[in-house]
Amino acid sequence: MKDTIMTHENLDIAKTHLGRLIGFDTTSALPNRAIIDHMADYFAGLGAHITILPDETGDKANLIARFGPEGKPGLVLSGHTDVVPAGGANWTTPPFEMDERDGRLYGRGSCDMKGFAACVMAAAPGFSSATLERPLYLCFSYDEEVGCLGAPAIARHLAALDVPPMLAIIGEPSEMKLITGQKGKIAMRAHVRGTAGHSSFAPSHVNALEYAARIIAMIQDRGRTYVEHGPFDPDFTVPHATMLATTIEGGIATNVTPDRCSFTFELRSIDESRARPDLDTLLSEVEAQFLPEMRAISDEAGIEWEEVFAYPAMGDATRTPGFEALRHILPEWGGKVSFGSEGGVFEVIGGVPSVIIGPGSIKQAHKADEFIEISQLDACLYFLDQVTEFAINR
Ligand SMILES: [Zn+2]
């Protein structure tokens, strides 16, 4: 007799939803309005209370679909609708057409993170037909991949509710393990302004590129102090903050002293309260060290700092009442992660403690031939059954 492998009754429905979601090219540079309207219409048809939060252009929007009563502490199920660019050449099948092979579903966003959205859609008829004692807020954002730009408006909306949610579950790929922390990030660009001239007169010019190099050395030193002195959190694979320079541009010819150099750098923090003060201290030290000697040669020399984007760290929610209430249904613990998610935004702006639990592996994200194991969708559907049970029970 052949073994029968039991799968969730909604698995085929989730696969169908995922195929449709992948079909929307929601690369962050493009509008996401079509996918938001598609999901909003679907949830509205099931009786959800719909809130759409558009950006200034109206081309992008967040969606909040609420099932269950207002005025009670509920749960957030959250995902982003945008995806990173597909590139083109290295895909076996077209990135925006789902392809099933070898127990996997391929397509851009299959794992990061339309697979989660598809499972939530497949579970939604269950949210609708049950008598929920607690509300479920299904939140879907825009522009997560370019710096969590959409999520703050969702977080502010949740914070303004009479009774805010007790916990947010962020469905980023975690192989359905429980993730209880995520590093924050501040991405910066420095513009170093010097003076140009024939390179043979180097001493009378301010060489922007050389000052940039010296500033980068200070950034590297600061990165090293995190490695040596922490603060440490062993739950992270890299158990301390990291800081490094990432791109650089400057100079026009071998015989011209460069008057412009710009470079980017980032700080990934584990302690949200220290991130800004640490960065501000470093920038002040850089200015104190270099500006006087730059200005001694030219008043026009200077350094400007530009914040490219930032999102806060997601702290440890395990000691919150929301986490306690859900503890019995939460899956096996999988540590803390260094990649970004909207959890920190929900916590810091919305005051909603957050954890990450989602189908698929981050190893398959942001790559050609991105895929999600079908078994991961299955596991997610079973987890959502327990979430539904939790929302039904007092
Ligand atoms: Zn993601």
- What's the pLDDT score for residue 277? 96
Q: Does the pLDDT of residue 1 top 60, yes or no?
A: no
Q: Are 198 and 255 in contact (CB under 8 A)?
A: yes
- What's the pLDDT score for residue 339? 86
| Rounded CA separation 301/205 (Å) | 10
Burial class of residue 101, CB neighbours in 10 A (0-12, 13-18, 19+): exposed
Instruction: Measure 89 CA to ligand 1 centroid, in angstroms.
Output: 22
Instruction: Measure 358 CA to ligand 1 centroid, in angstroms.
Output: 10
Alpha carbon distances (Å) from 143 to 84, 151, 230, 272, 358: 10, 8, 31, 22, 19
Q: Does the pLDDT of residue 45 top 80, yes or no?
A: yes
- What's the pLDDT score for residue 89? 74
pLDDT tens-digit series, residues 251-289: 999 999 999 999 999 999 998 889 999 999 999 999 999
Element (H, E) at 15: helix 11-23
Instruction: Measure 129 CA to ligand 1 centroid, in angstroms.
Output: 30
Which amino acid, residue 366? H
Instruction: Measure 170 CA to ligand 1 centroid, in angstroms.
Output: 9
Percent helix, strand, coil in the chain, to 5, is: 35, 25, 40
- What's the pLDDT score for residue 112? 96
| Rounded CA separation 44/21 (Å) | 17
pLDDT tens-digit series, residues 80-114: 999 999 987 789 999 999 999 999 999 999 999 99
Bigger pLDDT: 338 vs 31: 31
- What's the pLDDT score for residue 139? 98
pLDDT tens-digit series, residues 20-33: 999 999 999 999 99
Confidence band for 185, pLDDT divided at 50, 70 and 90: very high
Confidence band for 3, pLDDT divided at 50, 70 and 90: low
Instruction: Measure 297 CA to ligand 1 centroid, in angstroms.
Output: 47
Q: Which domains does the chain have, with CATH numbers?
A: 11-181+314-392 (3.40.630.10), 184-311 (3.30.70.360)
| Rounded CA separation 352/329 (Å) | 19
Instruction: Measure 367 CA to ligand 1 centroid, in angstroms.
Output: 12
Mean pLDDT (the chain) is: 95
- What's the pLDDT score for residue 390? 95
pLDDT tens-digit series, residues 125-180: 999 999 999 999 999 999 999 989 999 999 999 999 999 999 999 999 999 999 99
Instruction: Measure 359 CA to ligand 1 centroid, in angstroms.
Output: 11
Instruction: Measure 112 CA to ligand 1 centroid, in angstroms.
Output: 5
